[in-house]
Amino acid sequence: MADIEVRSEITGKVWKIEVKTGERVEEDEPILILESMKMEIPVAAPKSGKLVKLLVAEEDPVEEDQVVAILEED
């Protein structure tokens, strides 16, 4: 099984975390929501798998292309 890096597409702040470590996610399912310029931007799973590590917390600043989570591919 391969590890998959989940990256932010924008600079912003973590507004809400949608998935807990250990939970399974489907491809394109939101893992967390970023707030940027008063907009809510979901960061979705690029593939199906299990969330093994969340690298940010709510209110954390996030840069564009930053790894925010690690998934273990099914």
Total Cβ atoms within 10 A of residue 44: 15
Looking at residue 9, its amino acid is E
Per residue in 28-51, pLDDT tens? 999 999 999 999 999 999 999 999
Give the pLDDT confidence score for residue 1 in this predicted structure.
66
Domain that holds residue 48: 3-73
The tokens for 32 are: 């967390």
| Domain count of the fold of the chain | 1
d(CA 61, CA 74): 30
Per residue in 59-72, pLDDT tens? 999 999 999 999 99
**Which CATH number covers residue 24?**
2.40.50.100
Radius of gyration of the chain (CA): 11
